Structure 1
């Protein structure tokens, strides 16, 4: 009890000090325009982390000029950035200064282990170097037949559910299970969902709960870098058990299951790889999955480059958690668009059918990824509806942030650059960059796949957006860009080619009640206040 009293007093004192510091100590960031914070305690986080916060994000992206001041917990200053020149510094030129926040990496290590998102600097570069070959185009060609195998199982399961008459089904459920199986087979060499039983295995079930549970505890994560300094690890663990916060307890339970299952899968795979020969070929994917390639490369690496078992397990956990909801929900958004626009659906189906006639039922990798209309659809969907709307960084030291064009400060002075103190939270506004009218033109809010079928506007090329994918920030850029974006693109296109050629997709009566929720990864629900992901559409089988 004495420890709890000391902890409570220390925490209150720290919070008071932080609030007072933000009020009485001036910062260069204070001259950057931004919206008023509605809460002294939460700042703008209540708006930023609200599942219904799309209007706030759009207001920030349209009303202000590419760099916006926001407030975090107890007055902590944050910069919401979507200026291309500033972003080039953040994600490429000075990426080591604008690193992942401690609360984020601490949270990653607590939940998934020391994988790519849980380490910094040279440690991160060493891990990424080991992983890069497994995400190459050459390896994607190898994985394509495996992906088609999963897509065919999905089609068979959906045909069984649909039968011979138009039937309304929950697409988000099928796509999430499919993405889980694709990352299971292609990433881990393990089947996580056979797609022929009502529900996936415990690992799959826990994975489905992970991101919602993590987002529900988003504001607690900002306190991690301070809480981690209090007491011993055993004391902090006991504190988590003691805190009467249902969302926190749910997250702890999910993380416990994920940790156990990931470690178990790792040792099964390690044993098979050490035995070699037939043992590898008997695995799902026959040793062609990402983790098999990584573990084999790790065995052959020099001692200084070799990853520890905890790092390998961390990569395994991160692969599955980062690669499931992002792809499945982007696919669901695409199906939403196709259901709303039958003309777009018909045009896509025609292109797919022509390719199948020319190349066979399973369109080869190079031909599939270069289908022009399908590619334009994917690009436009990921531009207008990026699954992740923003990501966080934190400055490790004082730095001067350059701007592509001057902004007017709060005091009326012209600002061509912004002095950013160490410890400032910088938010990369992915959605804001993708929705910039100055970059994409007056029709920026319109869904127009055709924009990708002709040369892009000069303003797009001149902006020099530092994203790794198609002049967009959807997959980030620089050394922290999403390593699996080619994997994700292949998943989406294989599933689209299989499903669109087999089913006519229409809006169901209840589709009008679907709401897309802002979260770490957006997700649909039927009804504004539902906590259960869902997206119903009507499918009708297309006879061969």
Structure 2
């Protein structure tokens, strides 16, 4: 543990930096916006947000009070622009790799955890890396992966059947579903992505099981807050940082093995890494253009994107279906009794509605943070009133300004989604059950995939979107056709838990870690 004095020393350095650079630089003064008052001169509202796990209702309350673009005081009062105006958000995301860049803190975190792959890259480097990866996520490629999705979920279903058969009279059983969603997602991305079977569904240990995500959380949280002003503090040692290095090492050792196999031709061309290496060789005239380290960094990102986000989304879907049994019953009835092809899978209207509603309410990534490299003007959907009482229809944002788009808050904003914005209601996606063409109302002003920002938007939109959606639908369809899910008892509640993994995960309140035990029985 770093002495507390070191934290205050870093804060003092941040204060001096703020006075010398930020406060005295008139170029940083854009449109003067309203925003919440600071409860702490040192910390601003950062502790309020962390205490609420960056809860969307906090942002939406501020947006209602101060307008859809406002500033919040962060460490030492340094302002952060919060953008919740649909037109402004489209503008921000469209500027990815141009004016709008990931901030230094985010890039340092990504580098520690994943290396310098697509998530880390900016500008021309990002464009080239994305171009190399795009063929691996085409509709043709994902169509071929669908059988892998089915194979994995059926293997898991068989294991669950054995668990149920071990109980008296083959009755219901409490199963920790998040652990199993981790397994099915990891094995699937291993096979589809790299022709590599982790075999966690067969009982093999996951390379991530030994990583203790909870250690050093408080000190690392302080570094994150201070790092918003002084990114170099991320170089300070901490237990959490060592955890990230362990994670990076575990992923990189796997990626290194797969890379060597791929170079020897021992890998399928239609896997994601096979397509990447094939595209790279073709682009470079038969020679690899990317270094081994760059390829491994891409694999790190793909492995986590295909494992962490998918397992979280599947777990939230099962939680919502448990707490809304009428939705679960309707979904089961709509699915029929047999597997369907990739094309048929994407025509199942109610399955699609359940998946989209889960992704709307529970995006694995809750917000995106940017810095801008030059002054810019944000267009607004509707005028707002500034701190000086002036009505404006655009916002002047200064160079180096820090900007946040709170994804989860936008996905649940009542002004866009209606008064039931926080309610799980798949029917909002069904044209046949709504007065307008769907049930989205003003949400249609948003960009993103079908007006949900879960996959982000613009040039940074998630490359694996169709892969993730198809896997989500295939796995969920088999599970719901085969099993009935319910809560352990009427008092069981769930919450979003940060600090237990790279991304916030659901957990059952009172359970150890981020366990999500649910009662499971076969469909009769």
TM-score bracket, normalised by the shorter chain, equals: 0.7 to 0.9
1:102-138 CA-partner distances (Å, limit 9, x unpaired): 2222322232121111111111011111111111111
CA distance in 2, matches of 1:387, 1:337: 15
- Residue 90 (structure 1) aligned with residue 73 (structure 2): no
Q: Distance in 1 between matches of 2:440 and 2:188?
A: 38
Matched, 1:59 2:61: yes
1:217 aligns to 2:220 (yes or no): yes
The alpha-carbon deviation at position 73 of structure 1 amounts to 2.6
**CA apart distance, 1:19:** 4.4
Shift of 1:34: 1.5
Which ranges of structure 2 fall in alignment gaps of 5 or more residues?
A: 432-436
Give the helix-richer structure, 1 or 2: 1
Report the equivalent of 1:118.
120
1:155 CA displacement: 0.3
Aligned 8 A contact 1:51 1:518 in 2: no
Provide the C-alpha distance between the structure 1 equivalents of 2:157 and 2:468, rounded to a whole number of angstroms: 19
The partner residue of 2:206 within 201, 206, 211 is 201
Q: State how far apart, in whole Å, the 2-side matches of 1:223 and 1:118 are.
A: 21
CA-atom RMSD in angstroms: 3.1
CA deviation after TM superposition for structure 1 residue 416, in Å: 1.9
Residue number in structure 1 paired with 2:434 = none
TM-score (norm 1): 0.84
Q: Give secondary structure in 1 for the equivalent of 2:492.
A: helix
Q: Which residue of 2 aligns with 1:332?
A: 315
Q: What per-residue deviation string (whole Å, max 9, x for no partner) do you get for residues 332-358 of structure 1?
A: 1111111122221111111212xx4xx
Mapping 1:83-482, distance limit 5 Å: 83-93=85-95, 95-163=97-165, 164-197=170-203, 200-202=205-207, 204-205=208-209, 217=220, 220-221=223-224, 240=236, 243=237, 245-271=238-264, 273=265, 279-280=266-267, 286-302=268-284, 306-353=289-336, 356=337, 361-454=338-431, 455-456=437-438, 459-460=441-442, 463=445, 465-467=446-448, 469-482=449-462
Choose 34-43 or 512-521, whichever is displaced more: 512-521
1:439 CA displacement = 2.2
- For structure 1, the residue ranges without an aligned partner over 5 or more in a row are 231-235, 274-278, 281-285
Secondary structure, in 3 states, of the residue corresponding to 1:400?
strand
Question: Measured at CA, do residues 182 and 149 of structure 1 come closer, stay the same or move farther in structure 2, by a change above 3 Å?
Answer: same
Q: Secondary structure at the match of 2:344?
A: helix
Measured in 1, the distance between the counterparts of 2:221 and 2:137 equals: 30
Cα pair 1:107 1:221 within 8 Å, conserved = no
Q: Give the Cα separation in 2 of the matches to 1:100 and 1:307.
A: 23
> Residue in 2 aligned with 1:76?
78
Q: CA deviation at 1:41?
A: 2.6
Distance 2:83 2:194 in 1: 36
Aligned equivalent of 1:46: 47
Distance 2:377 2:104 in 1: 21
Q: Is the 8 A contact 1:32 1:410 kept in 2?
A: yes
Residues 300-309 or 382-391, more deviating: 300-309
Q: Any idea what SS the aligned residue of 2:290 has?
A: coil
Pair 9,442 (structure 1): closer, same or farther in 2 beyond 3 Å: closer
Structure-1 separation of matches of 2:335 and 2:382? 44
2: distance between equivalents of 1:94 and 1:299? Answer: 27
TM superposition shift of 1:373 = 0.5
Rounded to whole Å, the distance in 1 between the matches of 2:331 and 2:200 is 28
Bigger shift: residues 314-323 or 518-527: 518-527
Maintained 8 Å contact 2:73/2:79:
yes
What SS does the aligned partner of 1:264 have?
Answer: helix
Deviation of the 1:99 alpha carbon: 1.2
